């Protein structure tokens, strides 16, 4: 594999948009996946093939390592394995165990590649417990001190720590890219599908909440920081939810009618109220954090993001 990109667990929304970005730049892309993934996401699988990306079935770390030895090492490896929802065990197996095992397998063969672990902005905030007096993780400038440290965030943090240490021992450049809400073409996440569904009816939520958004271009740009920062906030836009949703509604229906939606204070209270079973007062971590954005978030990205979201139909 010559100067290409390997997307581990890339048969999804983030993987598709990264593939689009790299293929457009003339870079060879290989997308690894487990056996059942193409049947669960047939639209994305077909779209990846139409881009010219190669789909590679890999059932585990040993198969991945064998393939890399036989084929050669890529220039860049993205670890995109992970789940947003599920039981605590499912989230741990996906976001920690599978992500770490597959990346370790690649590190064992390809030490000169650049590695990017797709993490989440929800795990940001080393000193949030001290500052907020509660076991929470803070999203900077977004929902200060109101997000509980969930099983999802714990798994992401542990994966970051394990792989940063592993890469350090191997002498390989690695960065944990802490993304906001990912936006691109061919969405299938329930949140985007719901937003698009209301937009087709000409409806959008009236809300003062800002969302932090990451695009494929910015995620790809984190490779420049590998080896110089343990974790980076890879955020491209800071957009008011109402502005983005209204733009979508105008794109899809020609009209925009606001409907009630919880504001920032209400949402913060709701998250605090549900903190109990999700929080872990004994939990502590020391993952290094680079206190920088890449690039500085802009507040004027609603139009571009809306165009991306409506450019192709969601996954059926």
Confidence (pLDDT) at 276: 36
Half-sphere exposure of 183 (CA within 13 A, CB side): 28
pLDDT confidence of residue 212:
80
Tokens of 107: 């590190």
pLDDT digits (tens, 9 = 90+) for 96-141: 999 999 999 999 999 999 999 999 877 655 444 455 554 445 444 4
**Residue 129: what pLDDT?**
47
Measured CA to CA, the distance from residue 262 to residue 8 in angstroms comes to: 37
Q: How far apart are CA 11 and CA 114, in angstroms?
A: 20
Ordered DSSP codes for 291-311: EEESS--BS--HHHHHHHHHS
All domains of the chain in start order, with CATH: 5-276+286-310 (3.40.50.720)
Task: Note the pLDDT of residue 127.
Answer: 45
Kind and range of the H or E run holding 90: helix 88-92
**CA neighbor of 243 nearest in space, from 208, 213, 295:** 208
pLDDT score of 84: 86
pLDDT confidence of residue 51: 95
**Predicted pLDDT at 247:** 94
pLDDT at residue number 299: 61
- What the block records as the tokens of 283 is 């939990």
Query: What does the pLDDT read at residue 290?
Result: 44
How does pLDDT run along the chain (316 residues), one tens digit per residue? 556 999 999 999 999 999 999 999 999 999 999 998 999 999 999 999 999 999 999 999 999 999 999 999 999 999 999 988 889 899 999 999 999 999 999 999 999 999 999 998 776 554 444 555 544 454 444 445 555 567 888 899 889 889 998 998 999 999 999 888 898 999 988 889 999 999 999 999 988 787 888 899 999 999 988 887 778 888 888 788 889 999 999 999 999 999 987 665 655 554 454 443 333 322 233 344 443 455 555 666 788 889 889 999 898 7
Considering the entire predicted model, what is its pTM?
A: 0.86
pLDDT at residue 140, as a whole number:
47
What count of other Cβ atoms lies within 10 Å of the Cβ of residue 254?
8
Looking at residue 277, its pLDDT comes to: 34
Q: Which of 185, 216, 215, 181 is nearest to 22 (CA)?
A: 216
- Produce one character per residue of 88-115: b if its CB has 16 or more CB atoms within 10 Å, e if not: eeebbebbbbbbbebbbbbbeebeebbb
Q: Which of 159, 161, 153, 134 is nearest to 145 (CA)?
A: 134
Cα 177 to chain center, whole Å? Answer: 8
Grouping H, G, I as helix, E, B as strand and the rest as coil, residue 271 is helix
């Amino acid at each position: 594999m010559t100067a290409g990109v390997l997307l581990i667990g890339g048969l999804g929304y983030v993987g598709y948009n990264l593939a689009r970005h790299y293929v457009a730049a003339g870079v060879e892309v290989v997308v690894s996946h487990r056996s059942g993934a193409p049947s669960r996401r047939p639209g994305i699988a077909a779209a990846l093939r139409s881009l010219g990306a190669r789909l590679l079935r890999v059932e585990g770390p040993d198969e991945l390592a064998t393939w890399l030895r036989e084929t050669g090492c890529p220039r860049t490896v993205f670890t995109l394995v992970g789940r947003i929802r599920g039981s605590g065990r499912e989230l741990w197996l996906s976001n920690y165990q599978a992500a770490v095992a597959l990346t370790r397998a690649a590190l064992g063969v390809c030490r000169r590649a650049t590695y990017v672990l797709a993490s989440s902005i929800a795990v940001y905030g080393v000193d949030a417990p001290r500052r907020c007096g509660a076991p929470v993780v803070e999203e900077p400038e977004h929902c200060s001190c109101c997000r509980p440290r969930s099983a999802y965030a714990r798994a992401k943090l542990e994966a970051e720590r394990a792989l940063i240490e592993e890469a350090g021992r191997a002498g390989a450049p690695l960065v944990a890219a802490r993304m906001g809400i990912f936006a691109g073409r061919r969405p299938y996440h329930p949140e985007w599908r719901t937003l698009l569904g209301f937009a087709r009816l000409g409806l959008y939520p009236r809300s003062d909440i800002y969302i932090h958004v990451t695009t494929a271009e910015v995620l790809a740009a984190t490779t420049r920081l590998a080896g110089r920062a343990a974790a980076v906030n890879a955020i491209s836009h800071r957009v008011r939810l109402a502005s983005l949703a209204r733009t979508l509604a105008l794109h899809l229906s020609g009209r925009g009618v606001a409907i009630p939606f919880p504001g920032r204070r209400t949402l913060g209270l709701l998250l605090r109220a549900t903190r109990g079973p999700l929080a872990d007062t004994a939990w502590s971590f020391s993952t290094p954090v680079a206190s920088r954005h890449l690039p500085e978030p802009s507040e004027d990205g609603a139009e571009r993001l809306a165009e991306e979201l409506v450019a192709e139909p969601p996954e059926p």
